[in-house]
A = this chain, B = another copy of it.
Amino acid sequence: MSDPALWTALADPHRRAIVALLLERPRPVGEIVEACGLSQPSTSKHLKVLREAGLVRVRQEAQRRVYALDPAPIARLDIWLAPYRELWNRSLDALGSRLDETAPDTPEDPAPKD
């Protein structure tokens, strides 16, 4: 949930790109290299980070190494997100009623000051 490796792995745009590529289908390193336009070593290093964050698994297929997404870590992300989802549902509700009533004043905060 507050797994630092997971977040730092996803913090990099290239790595998010790789993750997006692997969402479509598992791919060998060569394909990923081509797709994201980085050098092969850089790509391998990014894959290492993703591997150590648990985001991807590797399957050795002859000389090729086929990388695939592991759903679990992203599921943890979703769990982390859950409490916040409630937050913006609340604010959508608020927006809805404001639009609905053509708000006379702006009740921005119900002041939940404990």
Contact = CB atoms under 8 A, between A and B. Distances in A.
Residue of A2, A71, A91, A114 most packed against chain B (CB within 10 A)? A71
Chain copies in the assembled complex: 2
Contacts of A81: 74, 77-78, 81
A88 B72 CA distance: 7
Given A71-B88, A74-B88, A88-B74, A83 B23 contact: yes
A8 B69 CA distance: 22
A8 to B, nearest CB: 5
Classify the interface of chain A: helix, strand, loop or mixed: helix
Interface residues of A, number: 30
Interface in A77-91: 77-78, 81, 83-85, 87-88, 90-91
Interface of A: 2, 4, 7-8, 10-11, 13, 16, 23, 25-26, 69, 71-72, 74-75, 77-78, 81, 83-85, 87-88, 90-91, 109, 112-114
